[in-house]
Amino acid sequence: MKAEIISVGDELTVGMIVDTNSAYLSSKLAGIGIPVTRHTVVGDDLDEVADAVGAASHRADLVLVNGGIGPTIDDVTRQAVAAAAGTTMRLDAEWLEAIRGMFTRRGYVMPESNAIQAMIPSAATRITNPCGTAAGFFIKINSAEVSVFPGVPGELRAMFEQEYLPRLLEAAPTGRVIVTRSLKCFGMPESLINEKIRHLMGAGKNPLVGLLAKDAVISVKITADADGEAAALAMIDEIKRTVRAILGDETATPPGPIYGEDDDEMQHAIARLLTGRRLKIATAESCTGGLIAKRLTDVSGSSDYFIGGVVSYSNEAKSIFMGVPENLFAEVGAVSPEVARAMAEGIRARLRTDLGLSITGIAGPTGGTPKKPVGLVYVALAHSMGTELQELRLTGTRDEIRDRSAKWAMNMIRICRH
């Protein structure tokens, strides 16, 4: 069994948007042993879409089409697939009621233009959209089963995972699987990680081990090809143990860079650590402007350990909320180890938490001086045994400096022993 993916949208063919849906669907299908042999991207053009669907339906067993099923006049995928199937359209009355209900619950009357989202080809079977108004559907065309999904990534993923995949697995259980798992690292340069584990890497190995760097996080990717998921996971686990022994996590001495696995972000590692140790934390942010608090609270249930935070973008706010002495600003400046310490200790005392994390720095692009250049950031972590300080000198855009400094600050929580 093999599959092809077709993404529809002018915003893709003009290069305004990168097609991430094809990669998502491909990795999911690979995960259950169904190879994807081709992606095709076409614009919102009825003939082009019909032509692409028709051609794919001769080559593949499964054709997954996404995009072009919104309510606007540009959205031609429904009609194009019907044309490729040589059939007409019908109204799915049940789904029309569902759409009306969605609008009603939000306090609107459904615009009549949305009714088209309940139209599907006559011979097609609807795939319910768990989080949107556009109905998906599947239909037999030539030797293939052609399925149509929304192009909005969130809706596509929900529909694929909740509706499409369970039905597919029930209809055609596959044997071989390709499974990828990752170990996520922060705080050690990619080249050093590469040096330490390169003997595990190399083309043609199974499991295949590779490094992927993104936003200062280095992922050790481990891909196994095996008969069944259990076998693949066992092969991956063996490599994981070896990599963990070499690189180490926060329990190693000195602490290692591995903070988590797969989709883990630093905030998930912190959630586990603080929950396990029953510690509460508060934050005081200047240059990151709330980014650390935002990430800590990305985790559902974070109110168990995150008490609150302050974004003190002015000196006044630093004094009002953390009691930072006003003379410090004149003496050493807001971006200084002294102010970082006063912020961390101040927020810890104010909110009576175990840990107080602070950050102050110059994110740029303006505001730098020769003595205090853009990218200079001070981070402080106050705890029961005292206050730890870290000076960072980062490069990059404003967004990058804010992202990296938030990660270094959060990493201090991770490797803290107190």
Q: Which of residues 37-66 bind a second copy (CB under 8 A)?
A: 37-45, 48, 52, 55
List binders of a second copy among 235-254 (CB under 8 A): none
At residue 49's C-alpha, the angle toward residues 35 and 97, to 5°, is 95
Stretch that binds a second copy, among 24-32, 237-245, 247-255, 257-265 (CB under 8 A): 24-32
Closest of 356, 339, 355 to residue 347, by C-alpha = 356
For the bound state, the minimum distance from the C-beta of residue 123 to a second copy, rounded and expressed in Å, comes to: 26
Stretch that binds a second copy, among 12-20, 77-85, 245-253, 409-417 (CB under 8 A): 12-20
Q: Which amino acid is at 233?
A: L
30 part of the interface to a second copy, by CB under 8 A? yes
Q: Which is nearer to a second copy, 59 or 90 (CB)?
A: 59
Stretch that binds a second copy, among 78-86, 120-128, 268-276, 317-325 (CB under 8 A): 317-325
For the bound state, the minimum distance from the C-beta of residue 125 to a second copy, rounded and expressed in Å, comes to: 25
15 part of the interface to a second copy, by CB under 8 A? yes
- From 91, 192, 245, 332, residue interacting with a second copy (rule: CB under 8 A): 192
- From 314, 325, 369, 386, residue interacting with a second copy (rule: CB under 8 A): 314
194 part of the interface to a second copy, by CB under 8 A? yes
310 part of the interface to a second copy, by CB under 8 A? yes
List binders of a second copy among 68-127 (CB under 8 A): 70-74, 105-108, 110-111, 113-114
Contacts of 230 (CB under 8 A, 6+ apart): none
Alpha-helix runs per DSSP H in 112-180:
153-159, 165-171
Alpha-helix runs per DSSP H in 42-152:
46-59, 77-85, 93-105
326 part of the interface to a second copy, by CB under 8 A? no
372 part of the interface to a second copy, by CB under 8 A? no
Alpha-helix runs per DSSP H in 227-287:
229-247, 266-277
For the bound state, the minimum distance from the C-beta of residue 353 to a second copy, rounded and expressed in Å, comes to: 10
- From 86, 101, 166, 365, residue interacting with a second copy (rule: CB under 8 A): 365
Contacts of 100 (CB under 8 A, 6+ apart): 110
For the bound state, the minimum distance from the C-beta of residue 413 to a second copy, rounded and expressed in Å, comes to: 16
* 356, 357, 361, 365: CA torsion to nearest 10: -130
24 part of the interface to a second copy, by CB under 8 A? yes
Contacts of 369 (CB under 8 A, 6+ apart): none
Tokens representing 137 are 């559907």
Do residues 84 and 124 make contact, with C-beta atoms less than 8 angstroms apart? no
- From 93, 170, 173, 203, residue interacting with a second copy (rule: CB under 8 A): 203
Handedness of CA 382, 387, 388, 393 (dihedral sign): positive
For the bound state, the minimum distance from the C-beta of residue 360 to a second copy, rounded and expressed in Å, comes to: 12
* 263, 268, 270, 271: CA torsion to nearest 10: -160
272 part of the interface to a second copy, by CB under 8 A? no
Q: Which is nearer to a second copy, 109 or 385 (CB)?
A: 109
Strands 376-383 and 386-393: antiparallel
Helix (H, G, I), strand (E, B) or coil at 296: helix
